[in-house]
Chains A and B, each alone.
Chain A
């Protein structure tokens, strides 16, 4: 796992991590402001609504981190130092995905912690907070599976990834039902909804037409991960490294 550790350290620059943790903490702040005077029985619904609506900030943070996993190496001309090593391309792809996912999870857990603290601060219970961790973890895995290969393949991966999040996930997926099934955020919400009984109205709308369910969501994510691994391995084998 030498490569995974190296890539992880490289993308988790202190300034970048601080900025992205702040971005991921925005839902917690929004929730705290929204739920300040709310009744206790409404807290779970407000909490899930805010995470579903504002949690996209984590998607953007995950995009910035995970596209950088191999893109930083390509752009800076340091890729030969890791590419010209006796590592199978499958192993290199796995380690890259591990690094990207780990980085996304660290930021995701930071964002979740901010939200959980906000929930506890207004009188919510820890179990509700704990269930919402599934949203960040699932999204971390899903976005890494898409954006690590994207970062290797596309020079303007950040722009393309933003297009995916802001156009496909937030606009097109509402208009075209089939596209909603390709939304990592909706799949992650469906896993969260499968664990949380008091899912808010807005959160349900944000997730639709994907149906709640842990098993189905995890299976879809596993499929996305396998696809990401296959695409990245193919790219490392077949495409020019520089």
Chain B
């Protein structure tokens, strides 16, 4: 599988403020979540990849092409910007048709109708965008981006303002596009969204790359962060005593029938637990890793810097 987007040693600064710092990363087909708090540099990274801003240092290649030098690349890449602004006086249909005509595609009217259907906006398509809800605007923006059938789709906070039904629809759409072989880069600061939509997560903090991989891989990379696991048992004191003797257990705490375990090696603990249960006849009813969510990983990434 070839890299659709290659970012090499990229930095972007505005005066004294460094928005992106020495970033090297590649993006392949599928959905990649770009995660980070506000000010992490996500929007700047997307804008530089899109060719809207020049790198201060380093380079970006889209399918091997520098987007600042060859505008033909815009037949193959689209951006859904974070800005809420659209052309308020245009109808949703006019907006998408304008995008189709500017993209110089064949049969722009038919194509616009098709993508409007794809984002489930047909009923509202002939209303002015100024009267659209935020979620409807997002869908109109997604339709305008999809109209050229791009291989690469950059989506900056695309689920902002969408209601749960719209959100679910868009997430399904993004996943489908990813499985069709398109490269989607979806930025968000809402962690559950990224978790739901992405095959792969890129976490950014202060303009730098904090981690890359799926949630579990990122979490595993944080070897200096202990993991917490809750174990429900019929004999919590005995289990706690058995666990604390292990080299990978940093601490235990008994809370009713639950033992809270802090470990530096969750995989090792998972292997030892059944053995302890059998050898010492301690019934275990539930094992729950409590900080496996992306949010906990993200919080750790932010706090760890």
- Digit string of B68-88 for contact with A (CB within 8 Å is 1, else 0)? 100111110111010111110
Q: Does A2 lie within 8 Å of B102, measured CB to CB?
A: yes
Q: Which residue of A is nearest B84, CB measured? A: A77
Is there a chain B Cβ closer than 8 Å to A242's Cβ?
yes
Q: Does B87 lie within 8 Å of A78, measured CB to CB?
A: yes
A87-B71 contact given A2-B98, A78-B86, A78-B87, CB 8 Å threshold: yes
Is there a chain A Cβ closer than 8 Å to B116's Cβ?
no
A24 to chain B, nearest CB (A): 24
Q: Does A87 lie within 8 Å of B81, measured CB to CB?
A: no
With A and B bound together, what is the CA distance between A160 and B177 in angstroms?
Answer: 47
Is there a chain A Cβ closer than 8 Å to B54's Cβ?
yes
B242 to chain A, nearest CB (A): 59
A34 to chain B, nearest CB (A): 40
Q: Does B72 lie within 8 Å of A242, measured CB to CB?
A: no
Residues of A within 8 A of B68 (CB): 237
Q: Does B74 lie within 8 Å of A85, measured CB to CB?
A: yes
A86-B87 contact given A238-B54, A241-B52, CB 8 Å threshold: no
Q: How many residues of B contact A (CB 8 A)?
A: 28
- Digit string of A59-88 for contact with B (CB within 8 Å is 1, else 0)? 000000000000000001111111111111
With A and B bound together, what is the CA distance between A79 and B47 in angstroms?
Answer: 12
For B85, give its contact among A77, A83, A237 (CB under 8 Å): A77
- Determine chain A's interface SS by DSSP, over half rule: helix
A85-B79 contact given A78-B86, A242-B52, CB 8 Å threshold: no
Residues of B within 8 A of A10 (CB): 87
Q: Does B85 lie within 8 Å of A86, measured CB to CB?
A: no
Is there a chain B Cβ closer than 8 Å to A3's Cβ?
yes
With A and B bound together, what is the CA distance between A59 and B50 in angstroms?
Answer: 37
For A242, give its contact among B47, B77, B86, B87 (CB under 8 Å): B47
B86 to chain A, nearest CB (A): 7
A76-B85 contact given A89-B71, A241-B52, CB 8 Å threshold: yes
Q: Does B102 lie within 8 Å of A87, measured CB to CB?
A: yes
Residues of B within 8 A of A83 (CB): 52
Residues of A within 8 A of B102 (CB): 2-3, 6, 81-82, 85, 87
- Digit string of A203-242 for contact with B (CB within 8 Å is 1, else 0)? 0000000000000000000000000000000000111111
With A and B bound together, what is the CA distance between A86 and B101 in angstroms?
Answer: 11
For B51, give its contact among A77, A78, A84 (CB under 8 Å): A84
Q: Does A86 lie within 8 Å of B83, measured CB to CB?
A: no
Is there a chain A Cβ closer than 8 Å to B104's Cβ?
yes
Tier of interface size on chain A:
20 to 34
Residues of A within 8 A of B87 (CB): 10, 78, 81
Q: Does B52 lie within 8 Å of A240, measured CB to CB?
A: yes
A6-B104 contact given A240-B54, A241-B53, A242-B52, CB 8 Å threshold: no
Residues of B within 8 A of A6 (CB): 98, 102
Q: Does B79 lie within 8 Å of A78, measured CB to CB?
A: no
With A and B bound together, what is the CA distance between A77 and B156 in angstroms?
Answer: 13
Q: Does A84 lie within 8 Å of B98, measured CB to CB?
A: no
A151 to chain B, nearest CB (A): 17
With A and B bound together, what is the CA distance between A241 and B81 in angstroms?
Answer: 13
B69 to chain A, nearest CB (A): 8
- Digit string of A155-194 for contact with B (CB within 8 Å is 1, else 0)? 0000000000000000000000000000000000000000
- Extra contacts, 7 of them, besides A77-B85, A81-B98 (Cβ < 8 A), are A77-B81, A80-B50, A85-B102, A88-B71, A89-B71, A237-B68, A241-B53
14 contacts between A and B (CB under 8 A): A3-B102, A78-B87, A81-B99, A84-B50, A85-B71, A85-B74, A85-B104, A86-B71, A86-B74, A86-B104, A87-B102, A242-B47, A242-B52, A242-B53
Q: What are the nearest 6 A-B pairs in CB distance?
A: A77-B83, A77-B85, A85-B102, A240-B53, A241-B52, A2-B101
